[in-house]
Amino acid sequence: MDFRSNAIYRFFRTSLLARFALAIAVPIFVVMTVLSLTHYLREQSLLEEQLRLFSVQLGEVLVGSLRYAMFTNDRVMIARTLADVNDMENVQRVQLINLDGVVKVDSWQQDEGMVQDRHGLGCEECHRYPPESRPRTARLILDSDTLRITTPIRNEAVCMSCHNPEDVHLGVLVADVSLHNIEQHLSNDLRTELLASGATILLVVVGLYLLIHRLVVRRMVRLREPLARLADGDFSTRLPVTTGPQDELDRLTNVLNQMAERIEIHARQQEERARLRQQAIVEERRRIASELHDGMGQLLGYVNTKVIATRLLLKKQKLDAADRNLQQLEEAARDLFLEVREAILSLKVASRCCTNFVAEVLEFAGQFSELNGLPIDVQVDPKVDTLELAGETELQLMRIVQESLTNVRKHARAGSAWVSLRCEDDALELTIGDDGVGFNPGAIRNHRPHFGLGIMRERAQSIGATFDLDSEPGAGTRITVRLPLEEGA
């Protein structure tokens, strides 16, 4: 069975809290287990060392208690004493062995008279060492739970009457002590410590789980629905924030709310830009329709009249007059061509309105210059690129640029023109100028049509900007629109 389909696996894969609790529990359990095992091994080593020391002392005491019986060679007393020792807790067997390895007395009364092989198991554990460094206790190879205690029996002066005075020892007292109960006790202690550690870890993990669930998970669950609404595009939704002192999660919630607010503002701006773009297209269509109806209608009527007049002049053989009429028709056709091309260009600009004001100005000026053969120099302050203007502001400024350059083509008879955008004294300054024939603004204002100047002034005032006209005959014309940045931003 695939373990990925296991319910426990899926639970840990989908629960961050469960993985966090597991990540805490496993290291703690490993550390506490290692500490418990270390404590177990240290306690085992300490108890074994104490047991070895106690066993050596016990051997000396046994030899001392047997000394009188050995002096009197009272075998009954020796056997009774060894039997009493054998009855002690954890003592398995006691033997007296002489220098030749013969078992003289055995508490089990089984091996008496037998000769022990010094190189066999049970003797080899001690006899593999030199006599001067031979241990007094050793674990048996055949039974690691048995500790063998060997206590040498010294050849004292009172013994030399019966034994060889040159022998330092007469034999050895061997006692086997079981370590099983001690090992069992240590194992029980280790088991108890591990169980206590597991219970402690479980309590800590459960406590942490409940604490994190209350402080984090429950609050995250409350954020799920508002976040889902934000994901669905409802940017008016705000995440709930606790009152009072705020922690990291509250600060994160505040950041998300600020982000949602900025996204909402941006979305509204995009909607407003789309609305203004559509409005610009509609207005431009109306303007072009009006111009086509008024200007082009008059122009086509003029062309029709000139064509009729030219045909009559040709019938009358007045070729010079007919040629002049044809030249006028050529100029009229050129004007009509430019009017149509400018109308198409205006529609293109209107369709891209409210996207990037500087880019729109550069593109329109470049295409207008190419279409009319009029050099146009566009100068943009780098600070203008960083401005964020309202959609309505961009639309009206773009309209002023279009109408100003159209006036230059129609009326200025200029050799060149320029457009300047710069930031100065917390204001955006737009200037359109030319080196054409210029005019007297007073005369235009009082006696002649103002070439759409009034409309441009109204556009500027609608966005909180000022509109200034500077011109004089023979010195060109300059239009300046000054917009306070707090008004257009």
Domain ranges of the chain: 3-185, 240-355, 366-489
State how far the Cα of 424 lies from the Cα of 47, in Å rounded to an integer: 91
The answer to whether residue 229 scores a pLDDT higher than 70 is yes
State how far the Cα of 197 lies from the Cα of 32, in Å rounded to an integer: 6
Structural tokens at position 59: 């051997």
State how far the Cα of 135 lies from the Cα of 150, in Å rounded to an integer: 8
Predicted pLDDT at 29: 76
Quick one: which of 484, 385, 372 has its CA closest to 434? 372
Predicted pLDDT at 449: 47
Homologous superfamily (CATH) for 366-489:
Histidine kinase-like ATPase, C-terminal domain (3.30.565.10)
Q: Read off the pLDDT band of 4 (50, 70, 90).
A: low
Its pTM stands at 0.42
State how far the Cα of 31 lies from the Cα of 17, in Å rounded to an integer: 22
Chain centroid offset of residue 5 CA: 29
State how far the Cα of 393 lies from the Cα of 402, in Å rounded to an integer: 14
The answer to whether residue 432 scores a pLDDT higher than 80 is yes
Q: What share of the chain is helix, strand, coil (3-state, %, to 5)?
A: 60, 15, 25
Tens-place pLDDT, residues 294-307: 556 666 777 778 77
Q: Please state, rounded to an integer, the average pLDDT across all residues of the chain.
A: 77
Is CATH 1.10.1040.10 what the domain over 3-185 is classified as, yes or no?
no
Tens-place pLDDT, residues 5-56: 567 667 666 666 677 777 777 777 777 778 777 877 777 677 667 766 776 7
Sheet harboring 466-471: ordered strands across?
376-380, 417-423, 427-434, 477-484, 466-471
Helix (H) or strand (E) holding 148: strand 146-154
Lowest mean pLDDT among 189-203, 281-295, 306-320, 353-367: 281-295
Tens-place pLDDT, residues 244-283: 777 777 888 888 888 888 888 888 877 877 777 677 667 7
